[in-house]
Amino acid sequence: MYPLKFKPYLCEKVWGGEKIAPFKGIFTTRNRIGESWEISAVKGHVSVIQNGPFAGKTLTGLMEEHGAELAGKKVIGRTGTEFPLLIKFIDAKDDLSIQVHPSDALAARTNPGQKGKTEMWYVVGADKGARLLSGLTQDITPEEYEEKVNDNTITDVLGRYDVRPGDVFFLPAGRIHAIGAGSFVAEIQQTSDITYRIYDYGRLGLDGRPRELHLEKAKEAIDWTVFPDYRTEYTPLRNEETHLVSCDYFTTTLFDLDKPVSKNLSALDSFVVVICVSGKGVLVDNEGDGSVHKVELRQGETVLIPATSSTVEFHPDGGMTCLASFVE
């Protein structure tokens, strides 16, 4: 198969900023773009392929026709023909709502047919004073949670982190979190669009009406466990693959490169999503049948390497930083 690029789906949000378009090198007349959905199998927002022999087809259609070749037999066995990851860039000009996502089990019970949402953030850019909120800093009961939401003090018990580019946060289902103003992040998550909004600063939506809260559903979803630190610590390795996050749903690694590096995929039996967060270069996809495909990759672009690939080579042009996400 051929490495795939997709048409981004741009979402206008009440908290959205103006960084996504120039970051991705695209022109748009839309204001307050909050999210660019890079790869999506979410119903109503399914990605459309824009290059190669499958141009014009949807990701869902290709998965139904060539799921094992695209995603891997192992992945198809676990998740079926729905592509399992949703990839986004998020630009927060203002604070996002305090929110939580359900586990698979809770989602199946409350939203039949849908999955839960475990996700991660990689900070691409951060204004001075930008912050992220993640996790509880003290033990509270469900009753205290309700009181703190009602008296506007729920943020007092959440971990608050000043951030800079390269920071990583893992957000398993059930962890309260929020993206703060001035943060620009790449988000990797399960294919799910279920969000339980807890607190929204009394803000009105784009329609001029207060945005809906989901306090009872959130209370059932929240993991009340308190951890000492919610930031993911790692040591970046120049011109080597650096591990960031592993969970049942995805593994994500980092390539910070100024010279060519290759990754052997022959035993992986999974797709690899490559997200370029800075610089530019070329990816060389060596297929198991001996065919070779090259695709240019620059900041703001995302490429899906199929499971039929035996090796992917990263050839930076001056320098390139990429995230790679796959299923182990």
pLDDT at 210 exceeding the cut of 90 = no
First to last CA, the chain: 20
Predicted confidence band at 8 (pLDDT cuts at 50, 70, 90)?
Answer: very high
pLDDT of residue 119: 98
Report d(CA 311, CA 286) in Å as an integer. 5
Indicate the SS3 state at residue 187: strand
**Phi and psi torsions of 164, nearest 5°:** -140, 165
DSSP 156: G
User: Amino acid identity of 277?
Assistant: V
Contact 5, 303 (CB under 8 A): yes
Predicted confidence band at 117 (pLDDT cuts at 50, 70, 90)?
Answer: very high
Instruction: Pick one of 1.10.3720.10, 2.60.120.10, 3.40.470.10, 3.30.70.1560 as the CATH number of 9-232.
Output: 2.60.120.10
Which of 78, 197, 203, 209 is flagged as catalytic? Answer: 197
Instruction: Pick one of 1.10.3720.10, 2.60.120.10, 3.30.750.24, 3.40.30.10 as the CATH number of 241-326.
Output: 2.60.120.10
Q: In the chain, where are the structural domains located?
A: 9-232, 241-326
Catalytic residue status for 197: yes
Over residues 19-35, mean pLDDT: 91
pLDDT at 204 exceeding the cut of 90 = no
Helix (H) or strand (E) holding 260: none
Q: Residue 322's closest CA among 118, 75, 72, 122?
A: 122
